[in-house]
Structure 1
């Protein structure tokens, strides 16, 4: 199905990212955009959070986002908006370094972004990121 011209909502699913654990899709495509659900640092093979702190979890988040975007026929370079949820704002610098590796260093136009500290994330993750990207 052509995601670019379809005027319907289309659910995106891939085994290369953690499966949805509730009534939501890994992503939804509509009107030439893909909206991902928030990704945390879960290893899709085990369903467990990766070990190694904020850096390892942020790396895994981007691998998960990359897989979801690929399933939607998009990629990290097409992200136009990112929302980052941190369990602890003291992790901002470490998260931002990994974020830059995946987004700022691979695009001539970096996405807009919001970063907020939250009280708790699923599975007590340290970081969760959701994005909107062009198809």
Structure 2
């Protein structure tokens, strides 16, 4: 029984889909798309060399174009900060003296415990401070 070339390419595409799912490496998916393109070429009667060439060209093109775009998107911070990330960089008003040992501030309409980033620095009530980081339920200010 002679299996046509396009069937082998589809089997190859399915085989490349397995490591895509198991490893979450998108490159396998891009090569699977290349195998599907080669199957389409085989269906239209392309020879074996042309089929391999279609597979290689489509796979390399997808990896070289899509991968940098995906890496750029992965490296970007989210546009909308939520939770404690949204509080970083905001200003607060000191309610009780804040030093390295602690204190209280009013941040985003709520009372927070706080401590100074610089262990030598002391902030008196009424002073405006900037929130540098949130450590649990404590705002680190300067």
TM over 0.5: no
Give the TM-score band, short-chain normalised. under 0.3
Greater relative contact order (CA < 8 Å, ≥ 6 in sequence) = 1
TM-score scaled by length of structure 2: 0.24
TM-score scaled by length of structure 1: 0.24
Larger radius of gyration: 2
